[in-house]
Amino acid sequence: MIELDHITLQVGAFRLTDVSCRIPRGSHTALMGRTGTGKTTLLEAVCGLRTVVSGHIRIDGRDVTLEPPGARGVGLVPQDGALFAHLTVRQHLAFALDVRRWPADRIAARVDELASWLRLTPLLDRLPLGLSGGEAQRVALGRALSFHPQVLCLDEPLSALDDETRAEICDVLSDIRQRTGVTLLHITHNRREAARLADYALQLRDGRIEPTSVPQT
Amino acid sequence: MTQPPSPTQHRPASDRPFFAALGVLGGTYILLLLATLGADTFYTSPGHLWRALQSPEIRHAVRLSLLTCTLSTLLSLWVAVPIGYLMTHLQFRGKALLDALLDIPIVLPPLVIGISLLILFQAPPLRALERVFPITYAVPSIILAQFMVACAFAVRTMRATFEQLSPRPEQVALTLGCNRSEAFWRVVLPSARRGILTAATLAWARALGEFGPILVFSGATRMKTEVLPTTVFLELSVGNLEAAVAVSLLMVAAAVTVLVLIRSYGLNQPFNRSL
């Protein structure tokens, strides 16, 4: 469960005040709202990339408000994937495990597992340059899932994809939830996407966050 | 009611005059550049160049120039990368003032930098240091004089590089378990590779052409503190224009070779094209 407890965020002149909500464990929650309402700022706060002015953030009951991003157990998939241009797909999948000093055989086994699951095996020795949009997002998802995070934050990961690839990544996201039980917090503007994937929806409007009904297809 | 004009009635004027005007303006400078290089080339002869290369003083100056430029470039990068990163990532009081301070070596006349270094090394603690490790009028003074100016250009380039990099990959690296240092070494620095090469190129070329501060701070002693710009000055001062021009051409050749090599190497790296 992700619990935002009366948090206030400030980015320049923009301010989100006294935001509270609970996102059930293992759910897929769509975070919706118009452009500029602070969705990405809120997601960054959950990841630990934004300092909270006041309030608390808890993940599965653990207060992570003051913890650095790398200690929170939160994976992040940005809109453009933000792949590391100098690393191969294999190195992307191994990145978080290498940082955690996993032994080489365990890293290799985990990379193989992720590559086979996300259909990345033929691409393992490729650099991000030249990967298609769908392939890049599968690499970004694999990289974020590699270290078994409790929460996966998705910042409009499907917005730059064509319809066919979008449907393919939607299938991958459903599969991720079924297999891992990770809690997904997913920023999206697309109501069809939310209807297909989410079982909860939150709306950010005028600096406040409110539960809203999941859009119906 | 007026009739809307037919879409075919308006035909934009040709783009040719626009590009021709830009081409003429830019071309004038390129022409001047090529004309000066051409004048140098036609003034000298292969014999002059050969004699220049045979001279022990000039060979020493070539070796010393290559050595000092390389060392001052490495020192510049060593300083410019951290300054560029910190100035991009940190907000603090007095940042604008520090920013202006970093540009001082760019706007100051180079001679003034030489005089300032000379005065600084007259201070008692540094004079004491000089008794153990000679700097003024010795080879280290050349490196220091080159470094003072070249570093300012490297800092400017590194700052622009870090400002242009998307913060997202670094942020993702932080969520993957890195601390700031690990994210810097594993993600930010490799992404800034092309900027580092550009900074190195600029610093090296700038150091190669440095003359004023070296003349003041290092002197112009043959076979000791003579670098290529000093050679041009010394040859010119004794009326040996042919040798001065030959050495100038050597400097042009060295600079062009290094610029082309570094740039082609940097641009050929596949991942750089996506940056």
DSSP B199-229: HHHHHHHHHHH--HHHHHHH---TTTT--HH
Find, in chain A, the residue whose alpha carbon is nearest to that of B178.
A70
**Of the partner residues B166, B179, B272, the one whose CB lies closest to the CB of residue A82:** B166
Task: Please tell me the predicted confidence (pLDDT) of residue B192.
Answer: 94
- Which are the contacts of B198, defined by CB distance < 8 A and separation ≥ 6? B157, B161, B266
Highest mean pLDDT among B23-27, B36-40, B50-54: B23-27
Mutation site, B164, B171, B174, B176, interface A, largest A CB count within 10 A: B176
ipTM score here? 0.94
The mean pLDDT of B236-253, rounded to a whole number, is 89
**Structural domains of chain B, ranges and CATH numbers in brackets:** 42-274 (1.10.3720.10)
Q: What is the DSSP letter of B184?
A: I
A191 to chain B, minimum CA–CA distance in Å? 26
Q: Is the pLDDT of residue B268 over 70?
A: no
State pLDDT tens for residues A65-96.
Answer: 999 999 999 999 998 899 999 999 999 999 99
Grouping H, G, I as helix, E, B as strand and the rest as coil, residue B43 is helix
Q: How many CB pairs under 8 A join A and B?
A: 81
- Return d(Cα A183, Cα A173) in angstroms, integer: 11
Report the mean per-residue pLDDT for chain B.
Answer: 89
Residues A83 and A140 sit within 8 Å (Cβ to Cβ): yes
State pLDDT tens for residues B195-213.
Answer: 999 899 889 999 999 999 9
The mean pLDDT of B246-274, rounded to a whole number, is 71
Cα radius of gyration (chain B): 24
B69 to chain A, minimum CA–CA distance in Å? 29
Backbone angles phi, psi at B13, to 5 degrees: -65, 160
Q: What percent of chain B has pLDDT over 90?
A: 63
Mutation site, A79, A99, A127, interface B, largest B CB count within 10 A: A99
- Which are the contacts of B38, defined by CB distance < 8 A and separation ≥ 6? none
Angle subtended at Cα B142 by Cα B155 and Cα B103, rounded to the nearest 5 degrees: 25
- Return d(Cα B249, Cα A119) in angstroms, integer: 58
pLDDT beneath 70, residues of chain A: 217
Do A76 and B172 count as a contact with CB atoms less than 8 A apart? yes
DSSP H/E element including B107: helix B104-107
DSSP H/E element including A184: strand A183-187
Amino acid at B179: N
- Which are the contacts of B173, defined by CB distance < 8 A and separation ≥ 6? A84, A95, B182, B183, B186, B187
3-state secondary structure A79-146: CCCCCCCCCCHHHHHHHHHHHCCCCHHHHHHHHHHHHHHCCCHHHCCCCCCCCCHHHHHHHHHHHHHC
Task: Please tell me the predicted confidence (pLDDT) of residue A217.
Answer: 61
Q: Which class in CATH covers the domain with range A2-212?
A: alpha beta
Among A46-55, A190-199, B2-11, B225-234, the range scoring the smallest mean pLDDT is B2-11
